[in-house]
Amino acid sequence: MSIEWRISSPDNWQADVLIWFGFEGEEAEASDLCADPPGALPWLRDCPALSDFKGKAKQISVAYGPADAKVARCILAGLGKRDKFDLNALRDAVVSAFRRCRDLKLVRVGLPLALFDSLPELGPEALKEALISGLLGLYSYDRYKTRDRNGADYEPACLLLTEEEPAAGKVPPDLAGEVEAIVEGVKLARDLTSGPGNDITPAQLLARAEELATRFDFKLQSFDLDQAAAMGMGAFVAVAKGSREPARFIVLEYAPEGCADERPIVLVGKGITFDTGGISLKPSAKMEAMKGDMAGAAAVLGTFNILGQLRPPRRVVGILPCTENMPDGKAYKPGDIVKSLAGLNIEVVNTDAEGRMILCDALAYGERYQPAAMIDIATLTGACIIALGDRVAGLLGNHDELRQTIRRIGDAVGERFWPLPLWDFYFDDIKSDCADFKNVGNRQAGTIIGAMFLKQFVAEETPWAHLDIAGPSWLEKDLMTTPKGATGFGVRTLFELVRRWK
């Protein structure tokens, strides 16, 4: 993948294909394509493909010009109805167009800047969002495919075509670098989440964190099971001790020059590399999906991948408790009482509620950094999928402004978050007869109870948000920017949150 500028008069533009958009119901007059097709395509006006094109959402027509034209193909991509048009419609159109380029093996893909100017009211971010979406829509996990690799190796070169240097403020200053970094970060999260449990082990997540630390000069610490036990992380250790695959508690730190002493933003990601449920064993149907129970940790690693490249001036700490959750002679059991790092005793009632067990020690550890804000991201509860479906993450926490910021950023980058309440009375459901509290309630309000448990480990004065991504971390259907499978959900929002932090 590459993104390059081509600044010259349109009759000198060269590309394998040029992408153009149109709205539905405006095809009667070809001049109603978004803006005038440029001088690069003098043949387009007379091309029959133009009248076949109806502009419907996701519709694609391919128009061919004379073989000796400098640009001999145009992909017309439908934006749907003008009055319904928004950033998501643009994203879908670009993904459809890029996928057709892949099918046709067209590598040099021309995108005229004038095209984006003519789109109604999307602002200077439209081109960036279009490129990011288009490239992410080409994603497929092909590491283990030795045959039928259809299109897996396709790498487009995006050519940004313009007559003159774009005016300041019209496009982000380092557009290409930004797009490439963000796409790489999301892809890293997708690759890790797609990866099977026998490959993406806690040791493997540490290896990836080490790669990032070396490449970008992050500080890295990691603790094994014995070290975690010696530190007092009884809840993390309880989950980890039932697994033969060695656990790792990973701490990554990005502290750019001048920021070393500021209060960091702490990002905590659930890193269960496989969740069997433990002694409270899950049913076998669909259990393979639990290889993705480290999507939170993957999202934090993806975010660090972007931080390393775009280097915003802000200190960030990433905490990744990583382990399997297995049934075993040494596994923790329902009824066990364990002492967490915070000193609070937890009665284990269900070993399948292991995410909150490892996260509570990570949050307590995060408090040591006196964070400016702490955000945890986790595939925590099936209940969140029941409540919100698989396109929306649950958003909980103790700080209205932080929650609003996350929602607003999420909307801008195409990640939906929806708030759930966290009233104090919910704590009643996890009261315990023999310890400080239990790790599950009854079956009601599962997502809220999970968050209520975590809240016990966050200082009242720490702005904290909990993102339950059990739904949107993995999709069973293709949603264009996010093809079927691992989505990398959360990476974009977490990065933007850091970048825009005041």
For 148-210, the DSSP string reads: --TTTT---EEEEEESS-PPTTTS-TTHHHHHHHHHHHHHHHHHHHHS-TTTS-HHHHHHHHH
Other residues' Cβ atoms within 10 Å of the Cβ of residue 121: 7
Query: Which residues are registered as beta bridge partners of 159?
Result: 4, 110
Q: How far apart are CA 352 and CA 378, in angstroms?
A: 14
Nearer to ligand BES, 146 or 442 (CB): 442
62: left (phi over 0), alpha (psi -120 to 50) or beta: beta
Sign of the Cα torsion 236, 305, 376, 445 reads negative
Nearer to ligand BES, 162 or 193 (CB): 193
In degrees, rounded to 5, the angle at the alpha carbon of residue 220 between the alpha carbons of residues 216 and 225 is: 150
Query: Which residues are registered as beta bridge partners of 160?
Result: 5, 111
Residue of 14, 140, 227, 350 interacting with ligand BES (CB under 6 A): 350
Nearer to ligand BES, 116 or 274 (CB): 274
Residue 472 Cβ, how far from ligand BES at the closest point, in Å? 10
Q: Which of 500, 373, 380, 351 is nearest to 439 (CA)?
A: 351
Residue 376 Cβ, how far from ligand BES at the closest point, in Å? 14
Please confirm, yes or no, whether 333 is among the known catalytic residues: no
Which does residue 93 bind out of Zn ion, ligand BES, none, counting CB within 5 to 8 angstroms by kind?
A: none
Residue 239 Cβ, how far from Zn ion at the closest point, in Å? 9
For 405-439, the DSSP string reads: HHHHHHHHHT-EEEE----GGGGGGG--SSSSEES
Please confirm, yes or no, whether 311 is among the known catalytic residues: no
Q: How far apart are CA 102 and CA 75, in angstroms?
A: 12
Q: How far apart are CA 339 and CA 237, in angstroms?
A: 10
Q: How far apart are CA 367 and CA 455, in angstroms?
A: 12
**Residue whose beta carbon is closest to ligand BES:** 382
Residue of 92, 129, 352, 415 interacting with ligand BES (CB under 6 A): 352
Which residues contact Zn ion by CB under 5 A?
272, 275, 293, 352, 354-355
Interface size with ligand BES, residues (CB under 6 A): 15
Which does residue 448 bind out of ligand BES, Zn ion, none, counting CB within 5 to 8 angstroms by kind?
A: none
Catalytic-role residue among 6, 263, 282, 499: 282
At residue 73, what are phi and psi to the nearest 5 degrees? -135, 145
Q: How far apart are CA 96 and CA 17, in angstroms?
A: 14
Residue of 19, 60, 377, 470 interacting with ligand BES (CB under 6 A): 470
Considering the rule CB under 6 A, would residue 429 count as an interface residue with ligand BES?
no
Nearer to ligand BES, 168 or 285 (CB): 285
Residue 152 Cβ, how far from ligand BES at the closest point, in Å? 26
Tokens of 264: 């960091």
Nearer to ligand BES, 193 or 405 (CB): 193
3-state secondary structure of 23: coil
Whether 332 and 338 have beta carbons less than 8 Å apart is answered as yes
Catalytic-role residue among 91, 99, 190, 356: 356
Question: Of 275-314, which residues contact ligand BES (CB under 6 A)?
Answer: 275, 293
Considering the rule CB under 6 A, would residue 446 count as an interface residue with ligand BES?
yes
Residue 365 Cβ, how far from Zn ion at the closest point, in Å? 19
Query: Which residues are registered as beta bridge partners of 86?
Result: none
Considering the rule CB under 6 A, would residue 379 count as an interface residue with ligand BES?
yes
Which does residue 382 bind out of ligand BES, Zn ion, none, counting CB within 5 to 8 angstroms by kind?
A: ligand BES
Residue 458 Cβ, how far from ligand BES at the closest point, in Å? 20
Nearer to ligand BES, 351 or 462 (CB): 351
Sites of contact with ligand BES (CB under 6 A): 275, 293, 350, 352-355, 379-383, 440, 446, 470
Q: Which residues are catalytic?
A: 282, 356
